[in-house]
Amino acid sequence: MTMAVLDPNRLREDFPILAERVNGHPLVYLDSAATSQKPQAVLDAVVDYYRTANANVHRGVHALAERATDTFEEARLRVARFVDADPRGVIFVRNTTEGLNLVARAFAEPTLGSGDRIVVTEMEHHSNFVPWQMLRDRTGVELAVAPLGDDGRLDIEALTRLLEPPTRLFAVSHVSNVLGTVNDIASLTRMAHRQGIVVCVDGAQAVPRLPLSLAQLEVDFYAFSGHKMLAPTGIGVLWGRPELLEAMPPFLGGGSMIELVTPECTTWNTIPHKFEAGTPDIAGAAGLTAAITYLEEVGMPAVQAHEELLTHYAYEVVGEADDVTVYGPPDGDRSGVLSFNLRGVHPHDIGTILDRNGMAVRAGHHCCQPLMRRLKVAATVRASFALYNTREEVDELARGLDEVRRIFSA
């Protein structure tokens, strides 16, 4: 049964690591945009797979192989249901980065070349920036960067001009991992599709915190990572339109992705298996299924509402101080992330002092150096929230920043 209103104190009991103490203090974990913590149900699912079903998937005729295959393929169906998408398009990868590289290598490289253009945005994580630069260097395709306004949102007027011929592919994040900006992917996709442009979305920060329907968004490719949505590291998903996947060559060659191999030639397996060479992360898939079950039981609307309330509270408690600069859209128009700087103090110093008091935040460029250049800073402090965070932890963050102020004023 889903929760109408999320109770983080109740949910915290499900996450063993949150009972840890760090440097003598209770752990305050505010780094879920980098990786989320895992509930006991996910830990149990991984162990249970190794205890009761450890074997390789597909083609095995013994009982354990059948259990492992059922575990793996059930995960595919659960992912498809969770994001409301055709299961034929669910490809298991290691993470968002691998999924986006797969699109660059197997779709864009054979399809695009000199005279074509790819558009990315200034807010992109390096995972959705560097693969397109590498493709540009290999093929001569043009790469254009859509600018942001001072409010941390896309400059739609400038983007509209870029989404015209010769643009063939538009790569954009659903939610910015630095700014918390939530892009209107449905609207952007319609804009791009009117020009015949393929849309590739980095959904790493969206899937953990927003109710999602890929069928309604009508995107062409959508990538996300399990480890940001309560699942283990090493398992991720690229969803692609089946008709595009059918036409694409494989990304990697080897076992499982083949139909027939002879000394003269090789033919490919059906989708999505054509893109899943070698032994996959079966235990990770078991953990991903458990994570999805957990999120469904809590309810994604409740997760979204809770994280937006926490972000609003953090903006009030932390962001409105005179010596704090907050980056991104105004309060009430961001999701799960508060990136900021404290006047006169380097973000790494802030992160170090907070860690001494048991607080985990991220300090650095967050794999978004083009965005840091746009913001005219080298780095920021980022506090990011999940369903297990509380208002009291935001208060601890504010007290921690007061300690930073005291140390540096002395």
Cα-based distances in Å from 157 to 28, 147, 315, 387: 41, 10, 29, 35
Compute the half-sphere exposure of residue 168: CA atoms within 13 Å on the CB side of its CA.
16
Which of 174, 162, 152 is closest to 119 using CA atoms?
162
* CA–CA dist 50, 2 (Å, integer): 29
Q: Is the dihedral of CA 148, 149, 152, 157 positive or negative?
A: negative
Residue 15 one-letter amino acid: F
* CA–CA dist 218, 223 (Å, integer): 14
Contact predicate 360/29, CB 8 Å: yes
Q: Can you list the pairs that 254-259 forms with residues at least 24 positions away whose Cβ atoms lie under 8 Å?
A: 254/278, 255/279, 256/58, 256/280
Contact predicate 345/404, CB 8 Å: yes
Residue 307 host element (H or E)? helix 300-314
Residue 168 one-letter amino acid: R
State the DSSP code for 105.
I
Sequence-ordered list of residues with C-beta below 8 angstroms from that of 125, at least 6 positions apart, any chain: 96, 173, 177, 202, 204, 366, 367, 368
Contact predicate 342/404, CB 8 Å: yes
Residue 191 host element (H or E)? helix 185-193
368 is catalytic: no
Contact predicate 384/34, CB 8 Å: yes
Q: Which of 200, 265, 367, 368 is catalytic?
A: 367
* CA–CA dist 145, 75 (Å, integer): 36
Residue 36 one-letter amino acid: S
Instruction: Count how many residues are written for the chain.
Output: 410
Residues assigned a catalytic role? 367
